[in-house]
Amino acid sequence: MIPPLLYDNLVRPFLFQFDPETIHHVAMRALRVLASVPCRPAHDPKLARTVFGLQFPNPIGLAAGFDKEAEALAAWQTLGFGFVEAGTITALAQPGNPRPRIFRLPDLGGVINRMGFNNSGADAVALRLEALKASGRWPTIPIGLNLGKSKVTPLEEATADYLRSFDRLFALGDYFVLNVSSPNTPGLRTLQGKAELDELLGAVMAANRSKPAPKPLLLKIAPDLEWAQIDEILQLVTDHGLSGLIATNTTLDHSCVPEGRDQTGGLSGKPLRARSTEIVRYVCKRLDLPVIAVGGIFDAEGALEKLDAGAALVQLYTGFIYRGPALVGEICEALKRR
């Protein structure tokens, strides 16, 4: 593990000299190597918790968007994460939006991305995961699979698109997330509308219940929703019997970004922290289901803030980029002290 001071003062400044997506690919290559080394770190039993029927060795997870192709699942366990959410995975392979499509904002502790669900598609990811299971190197931590709509699929065919991914990957995920809140696929957020979401949740939950052993199904929402929209979503989540909610995705509110440095895409990191926590607190007071909180967690204080707001689990993404692997241990130590 890289010591925090070394990462902050040497590793991160060096990495941030290069294109963000290039560094991401380099990091993923290193993580694939790490994933091939058998290592199952011990977790303090005090941190374990059961959420929507799954056993989590600790409540710190990796958010979707980092390991898009589920290429390095075992590495995240080695780094101390209590669970990992791979994806976003679409039914069809797609290259995503043109590069450059990731932009750092170091002075704000933020990142803007407009990746556009670049991935090799549900069939290719399924084959990779099936091979991992056959190898005997499958992680012992819960694995979530985050599903999105293929860009070329018309919105009126979105439900069938999600169902194709869900059916193909069903045997390979411990829980599933329907991502209808990314700002980087045209029209996707319209699926958060009452009628559209009612259709989608009804169809996927029907497919889920038809299985011999249904899996936990969650919904990931945007931070830019009005309270009335969130209320409608919470009612649908309850009516259709989902297992929980993830709050939140990236934001389209770029008001903190200085003029001349803004980019099209979703903003994540520290600028999202307060709004994400506000939504987590609102949802947890009204929904009798587990909530996974994500958005602006850069330190133990940020993680505890989300848990105190009512979250059952938390996820890291931009904070992991800025703080490095030691952030997981820092949060776990704070939880043990508490």
pLDDT the model gives residue 141: 97
Residue 37 has pLDDT above 90, yes or no: no
Q: Are 243 and 214 in contact (CB under 8 A)?
A: no
Q: Which residue in 168, 141, 140 sits closest to 84, CA to CA?
A: 141
Residue 43 has pLDDT above 70, yes or no: yes
Query: What architecture is domain 4-337?
Result: Alpha-Beta Barrel (3.20)
For 119-148, what is the mean pLDDT?
Answer: 96
For 321-337, what is the mean pLDDT?
Answer: 95
Distance CA 18, CA 265 (A): 20
Distance CA 263, CA 235 (A): 34
Least confident of 28-37, 51-60, 61-70, 121-130: 28-37
Distance CA 162, CA 223 (A): 22
DSSP characters for 217-259?
EEEEE-TT--HHHHHHHHHHHHHTT--EEEE---BS--TTSPT
Full-model pTM: 0.95
**Per-residue model confidence as pLDDT tens digits over 162-209:** 999 999 999 999 999 999 999 989 899 999 999 999 999 999 999 999
**Per-residue model confidence as pLDDT tens digits over 234-256:** 999 999 999 999 999 999 999 99
**Per-residue model confidence as pLDDT tens digits over 224-238:** 999 999 999 999 999
pLDDT the model gives residue 324: 93
Distance CA 192, CA 20 (A): 30
268 sits in which H/E element: strand 266-269
Residue 328 has pLDDT above 80, yes or no: yes
Distance CA 295, CA 273 (A): 5
Least confident of 61-75, 123-137, 157-171, 182-196: 182-196
Catalogue the active-site residues.
182
For 94-98, what is the mean pLDDT?
Answer: 96
pLDDT the model gives residue 242: 98
The domain segmentation of the chain, as residue ranges, is: 4-337
pLDDT the model gives residue 124: 98
Q: Could you tell me the pLDDT band of residue 36, with boundaries at 50, 70 and 90?
A: confident
pLDDT the model gives residue 109: 97
pLDDT the model gives residue 38: 74
329 sits in which H/E element: helix 326-337
- Give the three-state DSSP class for 175: strand
DSSP characters for 73-141?
HHHHHHTT-SEEEEEEE-SS-B--SPSP-EEEETTTTEEEE-----B--HHHHHHHHHHHHHHT---SS
What rounded mean pLDDT belongs to the chain?
95
Between residues 223 and 184, which one has the greater pLDDT? Answer: 223
**Per-residue model confidence as pLDDT tens digits over 267-280:** 999 999 999 999 99
Distance CA 190, CA 165 (A): 20
Distance (Å) of CA 304 to CA 7, 217, 267, 285, 298: 23, 25, 22, 17, 11
Enumerate residues 6+ apart whose C-beta is below 8 A from 315. 60, 61, 62, 63, 85, 246, 292, 293, 294, 297
Residue 1 has pLDDT above 70, yes or no: no
pLDDT the model gives residue 254: 97
CA dihedral in degrees (323, 267, 63, 338; nearest 10)?
A: 50
pLDDT the model gives residue 106: 96
Residue 46, exposed/middle/buried by CB under 10 A (0-12, 13-18, 19+)? exposed
Between residues 40 and 4, which one has the greater pLDDT? Answer: 4
